[in-house]
Amino acid sequence: MASDVGNLLGSGVVSTPVRSGTARSVSLESHPVVAETIRATVLFVDLRGYTGLAEKLPPVDVASLLDEFFGVLASAAERHDGQIFYMVGDGMMAGFGLRSSASVGAQNALAAAQGMLTGFAPIVERWQRELSIETGIGVGVHFGDVARCLHGPPGQRMHTLVGDTVNVAARLCSRARAGEVLFSAAVAAALQAERVADEKANELTPCIRLPQFALRGRSLPLDIWCMPAPQRLAL
């Protein structure tokens, strides 16, 4: 399995601009932080089998494959109004609902996840056929409060999302097997609310409700759903 995407929170980031007039300055001890609390859907995705891939191929070839991989992910996220915050190593984080309602953001996140699975499927087959590489992607999605803020050293501060919602999405991604999208009951509830007003939500893949499981570091178990393959959604 690829590296724990939860570790991405301390890694380099891809920056996105802060909308003017929305941020506020918060002082914690002696460290001022420009931040605001919003409700959003967070999506994490990473590449399964990356360690073996990196061991087998020259670094320049790995870089080429990752460029193709990230191209599929970024295209799917941006097509569904997502904003990319991390794109590092073999994983990516994106936020949805930052420019729309919370329920629309949840729908867009799952549609983007479905697009990632669909778009990456022929690449998985080609890599296996031409390079004898077994790989796939796992996706985790969670909805809730996040802090949209600026982090980093002077002159290199980047726009990002932090908070428990981000951590849970990362843990769900780590839990997902290749070809799976795991999402929380909070995402399912937001999606149900959107389905009342928008029949496009019915175009997503059928999902399976899974037994509760405990996420490492959290006190309570989480209700989760699984999107195993892109077809039509049935919550």
Q: What is the mean predicted confidence (pLDDT) over 164-180?
A: 93
Domains, the chain, with CATH or none: 5-227 (3.30.70.1230)
How many other CB atoms sit within 10 Å of the CB of residue 151? 17
Average pLDDT over residues 155-174: 90
Tokens of 118: 């669909």
- Asked whether residue 162 carries a pLDDT value surpassing 80, the answer given is yes
Predicted pLDDT at 217: 75
Q: 170 pLDDT exceeds 90?
A: yes
What are 14's two structure tokens? 């891809």
In the numeric block, which tokens belong to residue 92? Answer: 């990516």
Q: Are 190 and 225 in contact (CB under 8 A)?
A: no
Question: Is-contact 31 105, C-beta < 8 A?
Answer: no
Output the six-digit token pair for 94. Answer: 């994106």
Could you give the C-alpha distances from 121 to 72, 98, 137, in angstroms and in order?
10, 28, 9
Tell me the pLDDT band of 227, cut-offs 50, 70 and 90: confident
Lowest-confidence segment of 19-33, 122-136, 196-210 by average pLDDT: 19-33
The residue type found at 43 is L
Whole-model pTM: value is 0.80
Chain segment 12-70, per-residue pLDDT in tens:
333 343 343 344 544 445 555 677 899 999 999 999 989 889 999 999 999 999 999 99
The mean pLDDT value for 109-129 works out to 94
The tokens for 232 are: 């039509």
CB 26 within 8 A of CB 82: no
Q: Say what the pLDDT of residue 59 is.
A: 94
Q: CA-to-CA distance for 107 and 80, rounded, in angstroms?
A: 9
| 13 compared with 145, residue with greater pLDDT | 145
C-alpha distance from residue 107 to each of 137, 150, 164, 181, 198 (Å): 20, 26, 20, 13, 10
Across 117-143, average pLDDT: 93
Per-residue pLDDT, 102: 79
